[in-house]
Structure 1
Amino acid sequence: MTTTSLPPIAERAAAPVDVPLPDPSLGLTWRPVTRDDVPALSALVTRTEVADGVPYRTVAEEIDEKLDGEWRDIPRDTLVGLDADGVPRAWAEVDQPPGDTRVVRAFVGGGVDPDWRGRGVGRAIVAWSHARARQVLAASGKELPARIAAYVPDEAQDAARLLTRSGMTPVRYYAEMRRPLDAPLPDAPTPDGVRIVPWAPEHDEGARLAHNAAFADHWGSEPRNAAQWVHGRSMFAPTWSLVALDGKDQVVGYLLSGRYEADWEVTGHSAGYTDLLGVVREWRGRGLASALLAAVMAVYRADGMEYAELSVDTANRSGAHRLYTGLGYAVYASSAMYAIEL
């Protein structure tokens, strides 16, 4: 079905007029998330991650930045359930990125305290988040294919079952990969005509434009506007980040890293994490991505890191999975995107 033959987004989204709060008979008081909730909400998220056995930890700074974003309506897009003592026991959120131009997406997320599972709380927050997601999709006014989506680590089987019962199905799979840095680093020279330099603020807009160009033909990727590009950088590691410049000093490749120290205790090792890596179409097939990865491995190792890590879409048509395997990366965890297509 072509975009022009799709029914109107308002019709496809089938958004409710109101999104009622979950039933108080569940034993929780419901309201939007506020900044004051961040410490207690962070503790709740940690409890869920420990119970699910995921190989990472989400820290308070990452939760706090979720409340940023000029496009977000936090009072309507977030929900927290408090017990009789005011302790958060469940939460949910919806985010509709404003830059979407090919598929308009509403991402849903949340969780339930392990001690409160099996009481219907999970079903209630999934129902709330889907209703709100339909509202934001309809309100976008974008006559595009639409998607309600959620990322679920393979370890979180409770969440996977909840989403499946809600009508969501896994549509894409992702692998977390890592490479030891005590092994010899790959020989991946920088191709002629470009130079790899440390990231600097003056390169950031060029990196954003290069990212949008590099991922224009990737499934599930949408352009990021300037506000989206800088959002969610609480763990950004500028000294571990690189850009590739052509002879005109235009950014034609980039590698942005994160420093997720809270994960190191869980995994048992330190690591530099490649959050974003891309090369514009004109420079693909020349070894630039390999050169960026080899260069950042040297940076990570010089800073005492034991591993280099990254994530990859296993069905990526650019051959990224093969590239990473060839450079010594191996899979250590995986996740899936669950979705409802509208």
Structure 2
Amino acid sequence: MPTPLSERAAAPETVHEPTHPEVTWRAATAADVETVLALYRAAGAVDHPYFVVPRHEVTGKFSSSTVDPARDTMMAITPSGDVVAAGSATLGAGRATEVQTFIAGTVHPNWRGRGLGRELARWQVDRARQQLAGVDSDLPGSIGNFTEDHQDDVLALMARFGLQTRRYFTEMEWHGGHVPDVAVPDDVRIVPFTRELSEATRHARNDAFRDHWGSQPTHEERWSQNLVDNEHFRPDLSRVVVEKAAGGPRVLAFAMASVDEENWAVRGWRVAYVDLIGVRRERRGQRLAPAVMAAQMRAVRDAGLDGTILDVDTENPTGALGLYERMGYTPAHRGRALLLEI
């Protein structure tokens, strides 16, 4: 009989707050959104100057049903009231094949090298273990973190707590230019995304990503908060492939996009971000992916934008990396997925 996750997680009974002689620590609250966002953006200007941390990455910690801010967030405050470190541990809602929790955080560039990151990471891993131990399951468990490829200090810190590189992700760019014409089967059509197609698209996403590394089903709340109800989501730049079905249109493929104009200044071009691209597994190999991508690229070009960016798992089993290159995308930056398997 498999060992329950509650035993494998090796969680401490009590997760002690970090300690450091120069700061005090406490959980974050909704009233701290602006100061925490300012911290992340100050750190981002050094760690990843080519993109700006979006507001929803901070506000989402206070609106998600899977996050208890009082237990799942932590920040360091100087005697003058400045927030100089912050982090969280977030338990994933989708648990089809694995129970996942993710740790994320940063330290202000002016305060690095003083041990704040080490204290924060210790707290995060202890809290993540506690989260996993609280799930009644015998599925595999993991603690994950995403970081930029060049952040050697973060990689060393995560390794200290057992998180090792498991996957590389490449950010790719399309700077306008030629868009190929791609024919689609007669039984389907490509249309702009609408709210009426939201649930059908979510189901298509969950089917398309079932064989992707680390992917778990996206539930309604996350779909809403992170995508279709996000202030940056652009339905006019999103395209879906649909077929007729008894219960209404069935989504077979999708290319979803968002635009955060705050990124235009740091990137130097007017860019849309491709949040998701996928094809239902039974319809792969029918050119639906390049067709829906081409439709989206034309929509972006017609909207007067300069191009698009997307992230791809370099070991994606569908051959997505090669597809994107054939569609005119070129690699720009690389990140890593770090993992501690439980």
TM interval, shorter chain, is: over 0.9
User: Quick one: which amino acid aligns to residue 175 of structure 1?
Assistant: T
Q: Pick from 239, 243, 246 the counterpart of residue 243 of structure 2.
A: 246
User: Sequence identity, in percent?
Assistant: 35
- Matches of 1:60 and 1:198 in 2, distance apart? 26
1:328 maps to: 328
* Structure 1 residue 158: Cα displacement: 2.2
Question: Contact 1:253–1:278 at 8 Å: present in 2 too?
Answer: yes
Listed as ranges, the matches of 1:197-276 within 5 Å are 197-232=191-226, 233-248=230-245, 249-276=249-276
1:303 maps to: 303
Question: Contact 1:58–1:262 at 8 Å: present in 2 too?
Answer: no
Show structure 2 runs of 5+ residues with no match: none
Q: Pick from 11, 17, 20 the counterpart of residue 13 of structure 2.
A: 17
Q: Pick from 51, 55, 59 the counterpart of residue 64 of structure 1.
A: 59
* Structure 1 residue 15: Cα displacement: 0.8
So what's the TM-score if we normalise by structure 2? 0.95
Q: What is the CA deviation profile of residues 5-42 of structure 1, one whole-angstrom value per residue up to 9, with x for unaligned ones?
A: 542101110111111111142x1111111111111111
User: Quick one: which amino acid aligns to residue 7 of structure 2?
Assistant: E
- Matches of 1:84 and 1:54 in 2, distance apart? 29
- Matches of 2:288 and 2:157 in 1, distance apart? 42
- Report whether the alignment pairs 1:133 with 2:128: yes
- Matches of 2:20 and 2:334 in 1, distance apart? 36
Q: What is the CA deviation profile of residues 117-144 of structure 1, one whole-angstrom value per residue up to 9, with x for unaligned ones?
A: 1111000010000000001111121210
SS at match of 2:134: helix
- Matches of 1:41 and 1:34 in 2, distance apart? 10
User: Quick one: which amino acid aligns to residue 247 of structure 1?
Assistant: K
Question: Contact 1:22–1:128 at 8 Å: present in 2 too?
Answer: yes
- Matches of 1:118 and 1:52 in 2, distance apart? 15
Question: Contact 1:173–1:334 at 8 Å: present in 2 too?
Answer: yes
Q: Pick from 132, 138, 143 the counterpart of residue 143 of structure 1.
A: 138
1:94 maps to: 89
Show structure 1 runs of 5+ residues with no match: none
- Matches of 1:340 and 1:272 in 2, distance apart? 33
Q: What is the CA deviation profile of residues 170-189 of structure 1, one whole-angstrom value per residue up to 9, with x for unaligned ones?
A: 001100001111x1112222
Q: What is the CA deviation profile of residues 35-76 of structure 1, one whole-angstrom value per residue up to 9, with x for unaligned ones?
A: 111111111111111122442111334321232211221211
Question: Contact 1:235–1:260 at 8 Å: present in 2 too?
Answer: yes
Say how many residue pairs are matched: 336
- Report whether the alignment pairs 1:175 with 2:170: yes
SS at match of 2:76: strand
SS at match of 1:296: helix
- Matches of 2:56 and 2:165 in 1, distance apart? 29
Q: Pick from 176, 185, 190 the counterpart of residue 179 of structure 2.
A: 185
Question: Contact 1:82–1:88 at 8 Å: present in 2 too?
Answer: yes
Root-mean-square deviation (CA, aligned residues, Å) is 1.3
Q: What is the CA deviation profile of residues 284-325 of structure 1, one whole-angstrom value per residue up to 9, with x for unaligned ones?
A: 111111011100111111111111211100001100001101
- Matches of 1:228 and 1:159 in 2, distance apart? 27
SS at match of 2:269: coil
1:85 maps to: 80
SS at match of 2:173: strand
SS at match of 1:93: strand
* Structure 1 residue 191: Cα displacement: 2.9
